[in-house]
Amino acid sequence: MPWKPNAVLFTVFMLYSSSQVVGLGEKQDDDECADLNNTTLREYRQRSVKLQVQYLLMTRKNMDCPQRFDQAALTAPTCLFNISRSTKVIIHGYRALGSKPSWVKDLAQALLRAQDVNVLVVDWVYGASFAYNLVVESYKEVALQISVLINQLQKHGCDLETFHFIGVSLGAHVAGFVGTLFEGNIGRITGLDPAGPMFKGADTYDRLDPSDAQFVDVIHTDSDYFGISIPVGHVDFFLNGGKDQAGCARSRFASILVYFPVYGYVICDHMRAVHVYMSALNGSCQLTGIPCSSYEDFLRGNCLDCDVFKGKCPVLGLSENSGITISPLPKEQKVFLRTTSSAPFCAHHILLQLEVSSLDKSAELEVTLMTENLGTEQRLRLQTDTTVYRTVFAHRSPLCKIDSIRIKNTGARFYRQGEVHIKSVCVSDIPSVRYEEPLCVNNINVRRGAPWSHDFVQVCMNL
């Protein structure tokens, strides 16, 4: 299991790294443009900063220049808030030593490119920057202050169903409590890796849960440390099992002491939910989840369809098939997907099924799916008591673009492995399409050190 620092060490690391990143948020050149707050190191040490909540408004008319927003501003002639449009509310979480969340502007702009809406950014950097346990004590007060603003917007004609809260880490539980205050009548809450410490064993009243909105979807990327490990929405996307994300560095404590800054290391998995969500909003490709009881079962190819969603698999983002149109909604339904290590993070799930003749000793095969110069490989450990193997590939291209499949008998390190007879090797799409037959090749003999390959000639339809 990859090592990660404990909570005490995390606090020490964040104190160091945050002293390097205070003021990370972009400085506005135009005095009329609002900006997020930040807490100075001196204020932190003196604990002189109390909870303050402010709101920034962004629309398609001011994507690069947020307006400060409150109930008084709503009636101002220069206010860009449009009551007839839906409203996205972004809530950040714990902030190390008052550092500004640098991702907020990118997320707001991605939302605005996807839909013509109002985007309200909840800035509670003041109050979110002390010891984590102290910050947790105040998150409900933040929710109360937000609820006051929502009440005012209702009086001006806004419908609760038109609000979509997007909460990051601790901000997800803030959004959840706002939902509790409005008895679950808010339209939607999206939790981006909701905070785990002090919440995993909490009552549903004290954390995000499906009753907080008409639809709650959640992305888990760091459930073994900073994120929560249990499902807390109607649909919970566990990316790469919800734990370690591709492209996030792994290192030992000794290495961390040598190589600074550690800020990116300790939050890479945790913040991957935000970056994947932004990629999903950009719409370059679909990130589709497959319902399954566990990630292990998913990887073994035991979950191939989306019958629980009436055949329409949930997709990350704002599209209609993200799960919100399914009625009745499931609760705490786990769905799994694999991603790549960099934006846009999209991977197509391909099931490989391999049937071999009985072996007298264990063996190892390296299977590679090729698309032009791009290959995705996996190793299969063959045992003497098993003849059928299934595994799920995550490939950047869909199955219909796979040019060839290559199999190499890598054998064993300390003894010579003989020939492996493969009765059949088949590849098919996940989720399975009932009218499409898998691509299969039969009767293959693979000698050690002599790779075998087979070319496919296919045409992608409706892509």
Calculate the alpha carbon distances from 355 to 272, 313, 352, 358 in Å.
37, 29, 10, 9
Q: Is 169 a catalytic residue?
A: yes
Handedness of CA 221, 225, 228, 230 (dihedral sign): positive
Please state whether 226 falls in left (phi above 0), alpha (psi between -120 and 50) or beta.
Answer: alpha
d(CA 35, CA 55): 10
Write down the catalytic residue from 169, 223, 397, 428.
Answer: 169
**Bond before 344 cis per omega within 30 degrees:** yes
d(CA 191, CA 201): 17
d(CA 164, CA 231): 19
CB atoms near residue 192 (< 10 Å):
30
Write down the catalytic residue from 17, 173, 193, 220.
Answer: 193
Write down the catalytic residue from 92, 173, 270, 348.
Answer: 270
Q: Which residues contact 398 (CB under 8 A, 6 or more apart)?
A: 348, 429, 460, 463
CB contact at 8 A, 255 and 279 = no
Compute the 3-state secondary structure of the chain and give helix, strand, coil in percent, each to the nearest 5.
25, 25, 50
Calculate the alpha carbon distances from 251 to 7, 273, 339 in Å.
17, 21, 21
d(CA 328, CA 207): 23
Active site members: 169, 193, 270
